[in-house]
Amino acid sequence: MADGIGAPVRRKEDRRFLTGKGHYTDDFNRPGQAHAYFLRSPHAHARIKGIDKAAAESAAGVVAVLTGDDVQADGLGGLICGWMINSKDGTPMNAGPHPVLAQGKVRYVGDHVAVVIAETYAQAKDAAEAIEVDYEVLKPAVETAKATAAGQPLVHDDIADNRVFDWELGDKAAVDAAFAKAARVTKVDIVNNRLIPNAIEPRAAIGDYDSGSESTTLYTTSQNPHVARLVLSAFIGIAPEHKLRVIAPDVGGGFGSKIFIYAEEVVCAWASKRVGRPVKWTGERSESFLSDAHGRDHVTTAELALDKDGKFLALKVDTVANMGAYLSTFASCVPTYLYATLLSGQYAIPAIHCNVEAVYTNTAPVDAYRGAGRPEATYVVERIVETAARETGIDPAEIRRRNFVPTDAYPYQTPVIMTYDCGDYGKSLDEALRLADHAGFPQRKADSAKHGKLRGIGFSAYIEACGIAPSAAVGSLGAGVGLWESAKIRFNATGNLLVYTGAHSHGQGHETTFAQLMTSYLGIPVNDVEVIHGDTEKTPMGMGTYGSRSLAVGGSALVKAAEKIIAKGKKIAAHLLEASEGDIEFADGQFTVAGTDRAKTIQEIAFAAYVPHNYPADLEPGLEESAFYDPLNFTFPAGTQICEVEVDPDTGEVEIANFVAVDDFGTIVNPMIVEGQVHGGIAQGVGQAMLEGCVYDTESGQLVTGSYMDYTMPRADNLPSFKIGMTTTVNPSNPLGVKGCGEAGAIAAPAAVMNAITDAIGTDMQMPATPLRVWQAIQAGKTAQAAE
Confidence of residue 785 (pLDDT cuts 50, 70, 90): confident
pLDDT of residue 542: 95
For 623-632, the pLDDT digits (tens) are: 999 999 999 9
* Residue 451: how many other CB atoms lie within 10 Å: 9
The confidence score (pLDDT) of residue 729 equals 97
Residue 782 clears pLDDT 90, i.e. is over it: no
pLDDT at 393 over 80: yes
Query: Residue 470 has what pLDDT?
Result: 85
Is pTM beyond 0.85? Reply is yes
Tens of pLDDT, residues 10-21: 999 999 999 999
Distance (Å, whole) CA 192 – CA 379:
8
Contact 208, 30 (CB under 8 A): yes
pLDDT at 25: 98
Packing angle of the helix pair 556-576, 602-610 (nearest 10 deg): 80
Radius of gyration from C-alpha coordinates of the chain: 28
The H or E element containing residue 561 is: helix 556-576
pLDDT at residue 473 greater than cutoff 90 = no
Sorting pLDDT into bands at 50, 70 and 90, what band is 784? confident
pLDDT tens digits along 498-524: 999 999 999 999 999 999 999 999 999
- pLDDT single digits (tens) 22-41: 999 999 999 999 999 999 99
Strand partners, 86: 92
Q: At 162, is the secondary structure helix, strand, or coil?
A: helix
For residue 716, CA distances in Å to 69, 113, 416, 476 come to 48, 39, 39, 44
Helix (H) or strand (E) holding 751: helix 744-761
- CB neighbour list of residue 160: distance below 8 Å, 6 or more residues apart: 154
pLDDT of the residue at 786: 82
- Beta pairing class for 244-247 and 279-282: unpaired
Strand order in the sheet with 215-220: 62-67, 112-118, 34-40, 279-282, 204-210, 215-220, 244-247
> Sorting pLDDT into bands at 50, 70 and 90, what band is 638?
very high
Query: Tens digits of per-residue pLDDT, 334-382?
Result: 999 999 999 999 999 999 999 999 999 999 999 999 999 999 999 999 9
Do 632 and 450 touch, CB atoms closer than 8 A? Answer: no
132: number of Cβ within 10 Å: 12
- DSSP string of 450-482? HTT-EEEEEEEEEE--BS---HHHHHHTTBSS-
The mean predicted confidence, pLDDT, of the chain is: 97
Cα atoms in the Cβ-side hemisphere of radius 13 Å centred on 686: 29
Please determine, for residue 468, whether its predicted confidence score (pLDDT) is greater than 90.
no
pLDDT of 1 over the 80 cut? no
Q: Which residues contact 694 (CB under 8 A, 6 or more apart)?
A: 193, 194, 195, 196, 294, 297, 703, 705, 711
219-264: pLDDT as tens digits: 999 999 999 999 999 999 999 999 999 999 999 999 999 999 999 9
Is residue 304 predicted with pLDDT exceeding 90? Answer: yes
- pLDDT tens, position by position, 698-733: 999 999 999 999 999 999 999 999 999 999 999 999
- Summarize the confidence of residues 318-340 as an average pLDDT: 98
Is residue 783's pLDDT more than 90? no
Predicted pLDDT of residue 621: 98
What is the model's pLDDT at position 320? Answer: 98
529-553 CB burial, b ≥16 within 10 A, e <16? bbbebbbbeebbbbbbbbbbbbbbb
Calculate mean pLDDT across residues 271-278: 98
Q: Please, are residues 638 and 428 in contact by the beta-carbon 8 Å criterion?
A: yes
Name the nearest CA neighbour of 256 among 417, 374, 382, 85.
374
pLDDT(616) > 90: yes
